[in-house]
Amino acid sequence: MWVSILLTSVLVLVLHQAWVFLNWVWIQPRKMEKFLRKQGLKGNSYRFLFGDAGESAAMYEESYSKPIDINGDPRLRVMPFIYKTLKTYGEKSFMWVGPRPCVFITDVEMIKTVVNKHTIFQKPFKASNPIVRRQIGGLVRYEGEEWSRSKKKLGPHFHLEKLKNMVSTFQTSCEKILDEWSRIVPKDGSPTELDVYPYLPDFSAAVVSNALFDIPFTPAVKKVFHLIHELTFIANHAQPFSVPGEQYLPTWRYRRANAIENELTDTFTNMMMERLERIKRGEVKGEPILHDTLLDELNQIDIKDKNGRAKVIAELVQHCKVFFLAGHETTANLIGWTILMLSIHHKWQSLAREEAVKVLGDVDKITDDHLEDLKIINMIVHEVLRLYPPSIELTRIVEEDTTLGELTLKKGTMLQLLAIQLHLDPKIWGDDVMEFKPDRFAQGVLKAANGHAAFVPFGGGVRICLGATMALREAKLFIALFLLKFSFDLSPNYKHAPIVLLSMQPEYGLPLILRKLV
């Protein structure tokens, strides 16, 4: 009798799980597809479990197999499947991310609604691949009250008054890189080829470690950035959706991700404990930095509460990881693309250098006021952000049945806000949208976009990137000092191959022909 009851219970459980799986991979997607098509949305028919993953992966493999023309459309390489879908089906279209439909949003007003209604349209981490969830945590993943509380606590460290105090750190970190280049390039002004791209993450990483965490940029700290970069690479090569239980499979990808996660946890924990010891010994002076604010939460936990402290430390590790990741990669790539554009647009290189000489030529200690006076370089950086935005798209998941413009959206629908599509829309920017024209920003961002809120390189709405203003200031300072020391052309060995990890970057580096000016 008991055996019979047990077997019946097991059978019921198996049938229940089979129904849950069938509903997830087939019944629900087909219902969602029918619902979207009734509203005039178009896209490929749903394919069991993987959706458009196979075709998308094949197109990425093809697009990444060769460089593109330097004046070509980067969308052809960094989002080939999305670009093809939009060309095939029009702007009212969708794709399949596994068994979940993803609707493309290209309308300015609809994007504005999505980024501002952040409780209804949330970030997709809980539906993403487990490795992606390891890669990005902390403030970026928080929602609701938890996010509001954290932003209120951490946001002030990126306000202008705080950033003004960081300019000297920007300058010191920049000069170390430029001095290294000066030792490589001959003093007589003869040309030297140098791939400058590998140095740029060291600059931005040194700024993050020194300015935000008060940690010297040692080889051990540099290794942390390399580990985070490797984890980002692994996450980008994993499938974009989560299959239940896949994180427990003993694959190389998960074994390596686990190893990186463990090493990062140990390293960040040691950093936190060392900082607390320095504070305890009275060695930390001045106003609290970001690192100190993060540690406030740990100080509030009783030292005897080991479980409570372990939980807080785990959360703080995620915070540290995201600031280390986003804080250096975005800035490094922004500087890289700016240097690329100036290396082929000599008119703007000359104008920017003239401005740098005028503003900084006789200055030993750069201040934020000096950075504010770099108007031409500011226009150039904004134009680079338009053409090569750090975030080419913003993904959201609908958390409750809702409407968006003329669309009715079911809970669980994914939305893809195509930032780069906005940035390259001739209806917004004009027929010269693909041209490098920094002077389009001479009268500000809104005027450049003909009155549309269509410039979103760092996201938009209340959840815009906290470090956007910091990244802009770092980039302007680096570019100005670089222009003072060197003239440069693009090397004939350069291959134009934009690729996206966390943000868009040059796959094969940035070889330049450098000539020393001073």
Structure tokens at 394: 């913003």
301 CB-near residues (< 8 Å, 6+ apart): 308, 309, 312
Closest CA to 258 of 141, 142, 133, 140: 133
* Binding site listing for heme: 465
| C-alpha span between 429 and 447 (Å, rounded) | 10
Structure tokens at 168: 């000297």
* Binding site listing: 465
Residue 116, number of CB atoms within 10 A of its CB: 13
468 CB-near residues (< 8 Å, 6+ apart): 457, 458
| C-alpha span between 467 and 472 (Å, rounded) | 9
What does the pLDDT profile of the chain (518 residues) look like in tens digits?
666 777 777 777 777 778 878 888 899 999 999 999 999 999 999 998 889 989 999 999 999 999 999 999 999 999 999 999 999 999 999 999 989 999 999 999 999 999 999 899 998 876 666 667 666 777 777 788 888 888 899 999 999 999 999 999 999 999 999 999 999 999 888 899 999 999 999 999 999 999 999 999 999 999 999 998 888 888 777 655 556 566 666 778 888 888 998 999 999 999 999 998 998 888 888 889 999 998 888 777 766 667 777 888 888 888 888 888 877 889 999 999 999 999 999 999 999 999 999 999 888 999 999 999 999 999 999 999 999 998 888 889 999 999 999 999 999 999 999 989 999 999 999 999 999 999 999 999 999 999 999 999 998 888 888 899 999 999 999 999 999 999 999 999 999 999 988 789 999 999 999 999 97
State the amino acid at position 43 in one-letter form: G
By residue count, the chain amounts to 518
Burial zone of 103 (CB within 10 Å; 0-12 exposed, 13-18 middle, 19+ buried): buried
- CATH 2.40.50.140 is right for the domain spanning 130-516: no
Estimate the crossing angle of helix 290-299 against helix 144-154, to 10 degrees. Answer: 130
| C-alpha span between 364 and 366 (Å, rounded) | 6
User: With contact defined as beta carbons under 8 Å apart, do 415 and 397 qualify?
Assistant: yes
Any idea which residue has 């300019």 for tokens? 167
Task: Please report, for residues 113, 115, 151, 226, 415, the alpha-carbon distance to residue 119 in angstroms, rounded to integers and kept in the order given.
Answer: 11, 10, 15, 34, 14
Residue 258, number of CB atoms within 10 A of its CB: 13
| C-alpha span between 66 and 495 (Å, rounded) | 9
Any idea which residue has 């680079």 for tokens? 384
